[in-house]
Chains A and B, each alone.
Chain A
Amino acid sequence: MQNDPVKTFTGFGLGLRPPYYERFLTSPVPVDFVEVISENFMVDGGRPLATLDTVRERYPIALHGVSMSIGSADGLNPDYLRRLKKLATRVQPLWVSDHLCWTGVGGFNSHDLLPLPYSDEAMKLVCANISCAQDVLERPLLIENPSSYVTFAHNEAREWEFLAELCARTGCFLLLDVNNIYVSGTNHGFDPFTYLAGIPAERVRQIHLAGHSIGRDRLIDTHDSAVCDAVWTLYQAACRRFGPVATMIERDDDIPPLTDLLAELDIARALARGVAQARAA
């Protein structure tokens, strides 16, 4: 693997989702970068790739994946990695990210972000898979903390400890999803501020913000609503802990007009600015 660290990039971005394609193609959008779901563009051709090429001419792009299945006992899919590398070569992204999860085993793929036990065996497995991916892609990965709805009785580490160890062992970086910390913290009874304190600050390259839903007895990471106040508070704490970090808001369902998301992104900008000013004072 090439050992160049992922260069720091600060700014505020949004996800390139189909309802926004036309706006991104026809007029400037006040964002510093754009995040795309890698798998949507790991295709042979057609309008999606053409759209991506045009957007790339105007904005830096972060590739964010949902299907690498970095924690699967099957190991990584060579065809998937080949296609992802081809896309990364085409896009020259800020970075390539995926989740600390697995999506299937034994050839089955649930297409969901399934939870890992935080055990020594899982650590070795995930490290081997991350190293494999980084070798093929010739770049370090950003690993994102998922929302989870169960925890395993034989966990040997807390999630933030597991992530910190992954960084130390593989040289990977982190995409910290502040909403996911809040959702999992609420579901599993840990303090999200303790989580932030356990994250190696120098490894964080991007932050995700999103809305969630309140289920019967769990918070659910649905990306279908505005960022809630508690997550904004946690974001401020993240800004204090990590300093300026590229931040984007994820919205994948009940997608509002772009102006609404841009207004929400302005809230993130203002909060980050306020923290920076307070630090400077």
Chain B
Amino acid sequence: MSIRDLQQRFCSHLLDAPSDIARDLDRDGDAGLAVYHNAYRAQLVACLRDTFERVWAWLGDEAFEVAARTYIAANAPHSWTLADYGEQFPQTLAALYPQDPECTELAALEWQLRRAFDGPDSVSVEIGSLGTVDWDHAVLRFVPTLRVVPVTTNCGAIWTALAAGSMPPGVERVSAGAAMRIWRVGYSSHFCTIDAIEQRAIALVWGGASFAIVCNALVEGGDATRVAQNAGQLLAAWLRDGMIAAIDTQEGAG
């Protein structure tokens, strides 16, 4: 019997798979195994509580415990860091609460906030530094922590109320195509609800399109004057919110 075989059988015990690891232990090994079996789950439940603190508050202790145990039973950790555990938790909530999408969306929001918290650093472009930008060839670079998650509910308002310890609002549906953008400026993580137009613009920027192409693409989708205003407003909002880390000039862009 190799040490690999022994370790695999020990892990099988932890994961509730058939295992005869007890035969390799000294007397009373079952009681000791129970300590490890319990500690494995307890630590993962604690990890999920820490990462999804507002979901925990929204669901309550009992329901969150059930969701966490369901998730743990189906998702064994594989990363070296516990910080990676929980990425699929929103999907577990979607399966458990198909009629309550705010649960899934709260979890998705919390996951991205956690990722932004210790994600890559960056310095945001200041509005005052834009004087020399060649807008015909400008390519925006967002801060590396920026993420977008689609939403159908007012999960952001619910999160904010829960974080403040105040009574959360009732669940409300938001307009079709809405999303949350999540990002970090300095050491503060932020989120904001955005519409389908902004989602499309962000996707284009992420795809490497120049700002001129972003503007043209938005024009194709609606009234030219209004969309041009929108593009300007988007740029202003992105600068104001510290979402832009760099504005490069790309030859041939435009």
Contact = CB atoms under 8 A, between A and B. Distances in A.
Contacts of A122: 3
A207 B227 CA distance: 66
Given A46-B119, A46-B187, A109-B79, A73 B39 contact: no
Candidate in B23, B25, B28, B35 with the most chain A CB atoms within 10 angstroms? B35
Q: How many residues of B sit at the interface, in one of the four size bands?
A: 35 or more
A67 B40 contact: no
Given A46-B184, A50-B187, A105 B4 contact: yes
A187 to B, nearest CB: 7
B43 interface: yes
Interface stretch (A24-32, A149-157, A195-203, A259-267): A149-157
Interface stretch (A2-10, A214-222, A272-280): A214-222
Contacts of A48: 118
Given A43-B118, A150-B33, A217 B11 contact: no
A122 B10 CA distance: 15
Given A114-B36, A150-B26, A80 B80 contact: yes
Candidate in B23, B31, B44 with the most chain A CB atoms within 10 angstroms? B31
B24 interface: yes
Contacts of B187: 46-47, 50
A105 B117 contact: no
Nearest to B5: A73
B125 to A, nearest CB: 18
A158 interface: no
A122 B4 CA distance: 10
B77 A109 contact: yes
Interface residues of A, number: 48
Interface in B5-27: 6-8, 10-11, 14-15, 23-26
Contact of A44 (B3, B8, B44, B121): B121
Contacts of B26: 150-153, 188
B29 A150 contact: yes
Contact of B25 (A80, A119, A151, A218): A151
B164 interface: no
B8 A106 contact: yes
Contacts of B47: 111
Nearest to B44: A111
Contacts of B119: 43-46
B4 A153 contact: no
B24 A46 contact: no
A220 B11 contact: no
B83 interface: yes
Interface in A26-72: 39, 42-50, 67, 69, 72
A72 B7 contact: yes
Given A45-B121, A47-B187, A218-B32, A150 B11 contact: no
Nearest to A103: B80
A186 interface: no
Contact of B77 (A108, A121, A217): A108
Contacts of A110: 11, 14, 36, 40, 77
B128 interface: no
B82 A111 contact: yes
B7 A102 contact: yes
The 10 closest A-B pairs by CB, nearest first: A45-B121, A150-B32, A73-B4, A149-B32, A43-B118, A46-B118, A105-B7, A149-B35, A47-B187, A44-B120
Interface of A: 39, 42-50, 67, 69, 72-73, 77, 79-80, 102, 104-112, 114, 116-117, 119, 121-122, 125, 148-154, 187-188, 215-218, 220
23 contacts: A44-B119, A46-B119, A46-B121, A47-B117, A67-B80, A67-B81, A73-B4, A73-B7, A106-B7, A107-B78, A108-B77, A111-B43, A111-B44, A116-B3, A117-B6, A117-B24, A125-B3, A149-B32, A149-B33, A152-B24, A152-B26, A154-B24, A188-B26
Interface of B: 2-4, 6-8, 10-11, 14-15, 23-26, 28-29, 31-33, 35-36, 39-40, 43-44, 47, 76-83, 85, 116-121, 184, 187
Given A150-B26, A152-B25, 8 more contacts: A43-B118, A104-B77, A108-B11, A114-B7, A150-B33, A152-B24, A153-B25, A217-B31
